[in-house]
Amino acid sequence: MICQSFETECGYICVYEENGHVTQIKFNEKCFGKIDQNIAIQIEDYLQGRRQSFNFPVKLGGTAFQKKVWTLVREIPYGHTETYKQLSEKLKTSPRAIGQALKANPLPVYFPCHRVVAKKSIGGFTGGIEWKKMLLKIEGCNF
C-alpha cells in the first residue's frame, strides 16, 4: 500500500492506494509516497475547486448497511447538503444510524459525508468541524 499527502488550509489529507484502488482517505496525516497520477490529479483538482466528482476505483470494506449509506451520500449533489434525518427517511432507519455509518466511512470526500448536516447545525465530522467547513466552502456551500 502506498500513500500521498495533499496540503490544504486545514492541514494534510492522506490518500492510500493499493493496486490502483483507493482504500482510505485520512485527515491530518502526512506521508511521502506517490499514488497513481490519475488519482492524485483528481484529488488535487477537487481540493482546488476544479472537480465535482471522482471516477477512480476504490476498494471498500464495511457492512451492507454502511455501504448503502455511503452510496446514498454519494448521490448528494456537489455544493448541496442533506440532513441526517432526510437520509434516515430514505433508508427507513434512524438519524443516529446514519451518523454511525458515516463515522465509519473510510473514504470521506469520495463518499462526501461532509455534505450531511444536522437539522440546526453543521453536525459532526470525523476529520473535525474545520475540515467539514473547508470542504463545504470548496464546493461553494456556505453553511
> In whole angstroms, what is the distance from residue 6 CA to residue 29 CA?
9
For the CA atoms of 18, 19, 23, 25, the dihedral, rounded to the nearest 10 degrees, stands at 70
The total of other beta-carbon atoms located within 10 Å of residue 54's CB is 19
Contact criterion met (CB below 8 Å) for 83 and 94: no
H helices then E strands: how many in the chain?
Answer: 5, 5
Query: Where in the sequence numbering do the catalytic residues fall?
Result: 113
Joined together, the cell numbers standing for residue 23 give 482504500
Q: Which residue has the cell 462526501?
A: 112
